[in-house]
Amino acid sequence: MIVAVAILTVLLGAPCAAALDDADAQTARAEIVRACVGLLKLDETAAVVTRVEARLRVDPDFVDGFLLLGNALYLEKRYGEAIRAFEAGLKREPGKVALALPLGFCHFELGRVDDAERFFAALVRIQPDNPKARYGYGFVLGKRGAIEAIAELERAITIDPNYWRAHDALGDVHFDRGEFAAAEAAYCVALRGEGWRPSTWYRLGLALARQKKAGESKQALARYRELNDLVTRVDGLRTRLLAEPGDDDARARLAQAWLELGQTAKAVGLARIVLARDATNAVALGVVARAEGAADR
């Protein structure tokens, strides 16, 4: 299995793939990476898949292309295809841990929890100070109900205190263990960095209720309902754009929803994509105007 071979090769410290000799090819790769990283931040996955697949047809050893392709497919929840992309990259450059990390999450999403756990355990041995590896291992252990998850997630947070998802996952572990005060503390930290995530507000509301903090629980659950409506709208528009990537009316409304969620950079980025094709789109113009007005205040 490529996965197992790749992890063992990383452990043995295999050399990376040789660099391109062709300066034009190197420039083309760098431009695609720059453009596609920006597109992924906007969830413009269809554009990434189209652009990277076209490059890979003429440049099949473009390792970062497989990483970009896998990440885009992962965001589209096409986990089996994402695994194939990541494995293709690892076959060409076994030492690239950035390709191995998302494989663990792909296996988890496909219900292969044992494979995911083995993956992250191996990655932790390879890079013990990699917060994403620690988070992945702690996340999977937490879903199994293993107390060792706490130590792994705390290690991830020690390495990167601003790793908000590690705080959120730590809150879940404490909540599931009935440690509601500790869960509350972890959720509150997570919300400092990603205050738009409704699931965190929901679990915080429940943790507060279990501590008989009725007023605070009511406020947290009200915030959950407000954000959940917005995120449901975002999910619906993203699904529509996957089916119709050229639907700029949906893209403008998605930008508007992201702005309401406080994700200004993503909202403005999407709005500018729309305006590049239709400078009169009222919704996109409104998003940019609101964002610029807020920045001026």
Give the residue from 31, 29, 72, 47 showing the smallest Cα distance to 276: 47
Q: What is the distance between the alpha carbons of residues 30 and 287, in angstroms, rounded to a whole number?
A: 31
Q: Which residues contact 290 (CB under 8 A, 6 or more apart)?
A: 259
| Domains assigned to the chain | 1-13+28-127 (1.25.40.10), 246-297 (no CATH)
User: Which two tokens mark 45?
Assistant: 């996955």
Running along the chain, 297 residues long, what does each successive block of 10 average in pLDDT?
Answer: 48 45 86 97 96 96 97 97 96 89 94 94 93 97 96 98 97 98 98 96 98 98 98 96 96 97 96 97 98 79
Q: What is the distance between the alpha carbons of residues 21 and 25, in angstroms, rounded to a whole number?
A: 8
pLDDT (0 to 100) of residue 7 = 52
User: Which two tokens mark 268?
Assistant: 């403005």
Give the residue from 130, 132, 108, 128 showing the smallest Cα distance to 118: 108
Q: Helix axis angle, 131-144 relative to 148-159, nearest 10°? A: 160
Backbone angles phi, psi at 263, to 5 degrees: -95, 75
At 289, which amino acid appears? A
pLDDT (0 to 100) of residue 23 = 83
pLDDT (0 to 100) of residue 296 = 65
Q: What is the distance between the alpha carbons of residues 102 and 266, in angstroms, rounded to a whole number?
A: 22
DSSP string for residues in 257-284: HHHHTT-HHHHHHHHHHHHHH-TT-HHH
pLDDT (0 to 100) of residue 95 = 78
